[in-house]
Amino acid sequence: MTYSPGSPDPLIALRPWEAPELTSWNRLPMNAVDRRSGAIPLDGDWRFQLLPAPHAPVGGAWTQAYVPGAWTLQDSGDLPQYTNVTMPFPDIPPHSPAANPTGVYEREVDVPAGWAGRRIVLQVGAAESVLLVHVDGRPVGVSKDSHLAAEFDLTEVVRAGGRATVRLTVVKWSDASHIEDQDQWWHGGLTRSVLLYATDPLHLADVTVRARRGGELRVDCRVRDARGPLPEGWYLTGELDGVPFTQDAAFDAANAEDERVSGFLGEARLGTTVPGVRAWTAETPELYALTVRLHRADGTVADTSRHRVGFRDVEIVGRDLLVNGERIFVRGVNRHDFHPLTGRTVTPEDLRADLVLLKRFGFNAIRTAHYPNDPALYDLADELGFYVVDEADIESHDHAHEIADDPRYLNAFVDRVARMVLRDKNHPSVIVWSLGNESDYGAHHDAAAGWVRRHDPTRPLQYEGAAKLDWAATDDASDIACPMYAPIEECVAHALSGRQTRPLIQCEYSHAMGNSNGTLADFWAAVEATPGLQGGFVWEFWDHGILQRVSDGRPAGRTGPALRGDGVAPPGHRWAYGGDFGERVHDGAFIADGVVFPDRAPKPALYEHREIAAPVRIEGLEPGGVVLANHQHFRSLDWLTGEWRLDLADGTTLRAPADLPALRPGGTAAVPLPFEVPREGGEAWLTLRVTVAEDQPWAPSGTELCVPQVRLRGPAPVPVPPVSGGAVRLDGEGLLLHPLLTAAPTLTLWRAPTDNDEIGGMARRWRDLGLDALVRTVVSVREEPGRTTVEAVCTAGAAVVRHRQVLTSVEGGVRIDEEAELPPEFDDVARVGTVFETVAGLDRMDWFGQGPWESYPDRAAGAPVGHHTRLVDELFTPYLRPQESGGRHGVRRFTLSGRGGSALRVTLDEPRQVSVTRFRAEDLTTARHHAELAPRPGCVVHVDASHRGLGTASCGPDTSPGYLVAPGVHRWSWTLGVV
C-alpha cells in the first residue's frame, strides 16, 4: 500500500469495518514467544477524540482517555449498552450503522537510541472492534478481533533515538461485531495494555512446547530474520530449571533434507527427558522454568523466550476425558474479563483475586466465556491450578444461522480460532479448545477444527453448536458433548442408553441469576453416580453490574469509590444493569447472573458449590465412628487439617482437633468418633471443619474449605407447652395481638419473585391467580379457656384458600397451630406459611438450624446444621434486582433480640424455612435496585410450612418436582414466646 502525505487515508479507504473477508492488514502473525522483558509500556493518558463515524475528520479539542480502558466508562459521551442476543443496531451482516462511534487515541513515543539496528514492534493488547494504526501520519496496519493482541512492525516508520506520534483509531461497530455478539456489555476502546518492544532482526518467530507426563519435553521453534534470508550457523539451546539441553539432531537432519533451515524460515527442535518428573494437574500445579535461546553462529544470543512448563497429558478414551490417565470431574465456571469500574480491563491482581476465590470454593476449571481472556489469566491458571477451556472470540447469536456458512466470514472464523491456539498453546492449564459460542454450526467450524487438529493434536476440541445436533455423533467438530442447561435426567438417560460415544460435560449449567442455583446438589449427585458424565461449567462467575453514580447516571469510572466487598454498592452509587444508561434496546438484569456480586463478594450459592466439591467428605456412620473419603483425583489429605464439632439441640457445642487419615485419592477410612455423645441434649450433629494445614499459593493456613456433616441422633419430639390460664387477645380482624408484634401472623402464599420466577413465567401465573393480593375474611372465631380458633378464607380471584389458626395460651407465649387448604388450581405456589412483623430494636437473630448463610429447600447442601448468630441486617442478600432473599432452611427455633429489653423466641414443630429481613415482599417486588429499598425499623418474619425451590428457570431447568408446593392441606405449628 502506497501513501503520500495529504492523500486520502488508505486505511479509511479500505473500509475495514464492513469487509469481513479482511481480518487484518499488515498485522504480524500470532505467536507464543514471551516479549515482556525490556518492553516499554505505553499505558496511561492518551490524547483522545470521539468521532461520530470513521470518515469524520479529526479536529477540535483533544480530551484525555486512559489506556487500557473502555471509552464508554470514561465520560466520553458514549455509554455502555447491554444486550444478550439482539444486536444493538438493526443493520444485517456484514453491515454496521452509519452512526458509528470512533475513538482516536494519540501520543508521542520516545524510541530508545539503543534500539538502533533492531526490529521494533508495537503490540496493542485489545481493541473493540476494529483497530487502525498510524505512525507520524503513515498507515501501518489494521486488525480485528476485540480480545487478542495485534502486533505491527514499526522498524521502517520509526527511528531509534527519535520521537514518533502513534495514532490508534478504534471503530466501535463493524462486520466483526456480528460475530462478537456475546452476552455482555458493549464497549469501545483499547481495553488491554499497549507496549513497544524490540528484537534482534534474527528472532524467534514462535515457540511450541509439548511436555508429557512421562517427562518427555519437546520444544519446536520457528526462526526468522527481518532482513531476509536466515544467516548461516544459527542454533538454539534450552534450559529447564537451570539444566541445559540442546537441539534434536534427528529433527535438524530431517529439516535439512527438506531445505527448511535455509531461506526465510528456520525450524529446529529442542528435546530432553526429565527423570522423576513432577506432573502438572489442577490439584498439583507443578511448573518448571524453561528458557529458549536463539544463538548466532558465533554463539552470542540473538533472542530469548521464557516459559513455565507443566508436564501433563490430556486425552479422550471412550467416553472419558482423562488428565494424566485419570478421569476427572470438571467443576467449572464460565468467566468473563470484568470489573465494575473498568469493564473488560483487568489487572493481574484482579485476576489473581478471581482465581483465588474460585479455588477456595471448590472450582477447578474455567471456560473463557466467550473469547480468549487476558493473557495473565492463563499464567495464573498454570500457577494456581485450573483446567481451562479456551474459547475463541466467535459468537453470532443474533444471526447465527446466516453467518455459519457465509463465505465472507470464513477467514474470520479460522483466523480467530487459529490466533487463540497460537497464543495460548504452551499453557498446561489449557486442556480443551473451544470454537466459540452460540454461532449455529457450519462449514466455518469444520474449517477451524481442521486447522486446530492439524496444528495441535494434543488437546480435544469442543463446540456446543456441533455437539447439540446429536450427543452421540462422532463425525462433527466437537470431541465432547457439551450441551447448555440440559436437564440432568436427559444427561443420565443418555449415559445409560448405550449410545454415548464421547464425554458429556455441560458448557453451561446452573444459571446463577439472582437467587438461584437450585438443585445444584442433585445435579452433582447424578454426575458422580453416572459413568459418562463429568460435570460442567456454572453460568457464570460475575454479576456484571457497572458502578453508576446515582446523581447523573454516569459510570463511576476507574477512579470511582472504594468497593465495600459485601455486595452493596457504595453510598451514592448503584450497580447498573441493562437499561440503566438510557439504552432503548437492552436485556435488563440478565447481565447479573453470577455466583459473585460485582465487587467479588460471594453469593450464598458459592457455599453450596463449596460443599458439593468438598475434597473430604463424611460418607456414613459405623459403630463408634464415621467413614471419611478423599474425593480428590491426584492428592492425598496431608495438606489439610480439621476440627470436629458436635452440636446438640439443647445448645451444647463440643470441639476437638481432627487427625485426618492418610488417604490416597478416592480412598476411604473409618475414624472413631472424637466425642462420647451425651445421652441427653436432643438432636445431635457432627461436623468436620476442614482447613488448609500449610500456606498454599491461593489460601493461607487455616482457610476453611468445607464443613461436611452427619447427623448422629435424630430430633426428639417437640414438647407441647402446657396450657396456661391466660387468654389469647385478638383484634377486630381476628388477628393475634402481641406486645412485640406490629403486624399479626397471617397466611401468605407469595414471595417477591426471583429472577427465575419472573423469567420462567411462574410469577406471572401467581399474579394471575391473585397470590400477591390475598383478601382475608374471618368466617368464625371460637373461644375456649386458653384457646381460640379462627376460621378464615383467603380469596385470590375466584379461588378460595381455607385457613385455620388455633391459638393456645401456653407458658411464656402462644402456640399457633395452622392449617391451609389450597385448591387444585394452586398446584405450584411460592410458599405456604405465616408472615408477621416485629417492633423495632430486635436486631440479632440466633437460631438452631441450617446456616449461617442463606439457604432454600433445593439449595441447602452447603448450610450445615448448628447454632448460628447474625445481625438481622446481615441476613438479607442484596441481589442486584431485589427479590426473595435471606431465607434459612431447616430452622428448628430462633430468637430475635436487641440490647436490653425482651426478646422474641419462636419454636417450630419441625425444621422449617424461615426468613427474617427488614423488607416486605411488596417492597422487594416494586424496587429495581437495592439502593431504592428503605429498610423497615422492625423485622419482617416468614415461617413457612412449605417453600418452593429456586431452580434455574431464568435460563435452564426449573426446580425438580419434589421442591414444588402442591395443593391440598398444609399443616404447621409454632410457638411464639417472650424471653
Q: Which residues are catalytic?
A: 438, 508
Residues 386, 831: Cα–Cα separation, whole Å:
40
Residues 401, 32: Cα–Cα separation, whole Å:
33
Residues 466, 647: Cα–Cα separation, whole Å:
51
Distance between alpha carbon 491 and the CA centroid of its chain, in Å? Answer: 22
In terms of C-beta density within 10 A (0-12 exposed, 13-18 middle, 19 or more buried), how is residue 275 classed?
exposed
- The number of beta carbons lying within 10 Å of the beta carbon of residue 123 is 18
| Residues near 900 by beta carbon (within 8 Å), at least 6 away in sequence | none
Match 452447603 to its residue by C-alpha cell: 862
Q: Phi first, then psi: give them for residue 421, nearest 5 degrees.
A: -65, -45
Residues 642, 881: Cα–Cα separation, whole Å:
38
* Contact of 460 with 430, CB cutoff 8 Å: no
Helices 520-529 and 488-496, axial angle in degrees (round to 10): 10
**Burial per residue of 417-453, b for 16 or more beta-carbon CB atoms within 10 angstroms, e otherwise:** bbbbbbbbbbbbbbbbbbbbbbbbbbebbbebbebbe
Residues 866, 852: Cα–Cα separation, whole Å:
8
* Contact of 94 with 408, CB cutoff 8 Å: yes
| Nearest in space to 262 (alpha carbons), one of 225, 306, 310, 313 | 225
- The number of beta carbons lying within 10 Å of the beta carbon of residue 664 is 12
Strand partners, 831: 947
What DSSP designation does 179 have?
G
Helices 520-529 and 604-612, axial angle in degrees (round to 10): 20
* Contact of 165 with 107, CB cutoff 8 Å: yes
Element (H, E) at 417: helix 410-424
Residues 904, 977: Cα–Cα separation, whole Å:
6
**Burial per residue of 11-35, b for 16 or more beta-carbon CB atoms within 10 angstroms, e otherwise:** beebbbbbbbebbbbebbebbbbbb
Specify the amino acid at residue 291: T
Question: In this structure, what C-alpha cell is assigned to residue 257?
Answer: 533434507
Within 476-542, residue ranges assigned H as helices are 488-496, 520-529
Element (H, E) at 433: strand 430-434
* Contact of 966 with 818, CB cutoff 8 Å: no
Strands 616-622 and 573-576: unpaired
Strand partners, 877: none
What is the Cα Rg of the chain in Å?
A: 32
Residues 401, 291: Cα–Cα separation, whole Å:
46
Strands 320-323 and 461-462: unpaired
Question: In this structure, what C-alpha cell is assigned to residue 937?
Answer: 425499623
- The number of beta carbons lying within 10 Å of the beta carbon of residue 109 is 17
* Contact of 749 with 761, CB cutoff 8 Å: no
Residues 178, 93: Cα–Cα separation, whole Å:
6
- The number of beta carbons lying within 10 Å of the beta carbon of residue 550 is 15
> Hey, is 766 helix, strand or coil?
helix
- The number of beta carbons lying within 10 Å of the beta carbon of residue 231 is 15
